[in-house]
Amino acid sequence: MFGNVLQGLVEGTGGGIGAVLMGYDGIPVAQFFRPTQGPDLQLMAVEYTNILKEIRTAAEILDIGRTEEVAIRTERYLLVLRTLTDDYFVALTLERDGNFGKGRYLLQRDASVLRDALA
């Protein structure tokens, strides 16, 4: 079930490369990667798990509300992380010129489906 949602995210977003449903413990629950010569998306997800944890902690310290979404644009890729529950988040990786708006929209749309399935 998770795999289908992740596949829909990647294939529905122009420039989509891969999506991972991750636990904050750094363990992936499900993933869908396009066959590509691209980066090690699993390693990326693990690296960004730690960063997202720190962003979440910073938001708590600053009392600016729960972190919902983090987007990181590098010279080559675009990464959108969306928090689902206290324990899980989704990471969607796009080509740099991928459709950022569409990716964000689909992540937002599918978040509640994934959240329900995780509960």
Report the distance separating Cα 7 and Cα 34, nearest Å.
Answer: 9
Report the distance separating Cα 78 and Cα 91, nearest Å.
Answer: 10
Q: Nearest distance from residue 10's CB to its own copies, in Å?
A: 17
Neighbours of 91 (CB within 10 A): 27
Q: CA angle 115-116-119, nearest 5°? A: 85
| Residue 11 makes contact with its own copies by CB under 8 A | no
Report CA 23 to chain centroid distance, whole Å. 11
Closest CA to 89 of 4, 21, 10: 21
| Residue 55 makes contact with its own copies by CB under 8 A | yes
Size of the site for its own copies (CB under 8 A): 30
| Residue 72 makes contact with its own copies by CB under 8 A | yes
| Residue 119 makes contact with its own copies by CB under 8 A | no
Amino acid of residue 20: V
| Residue 14 makes contact with its own copies by CB under 8 A | no
Q: Which of 48, 91, 107, 110 binds its own copies (CB under 8 A)?
A: 48
Q: Which of 69, 85, 105, 109 binds its own copies (CB under 8 A)?
A: 69
User: Which residues form the interface with its own copies (CB under 8 A)?
Assistant: 39-40, 43-44, 47-48, 50-51, 54-55, 58-59, 61-77, 96
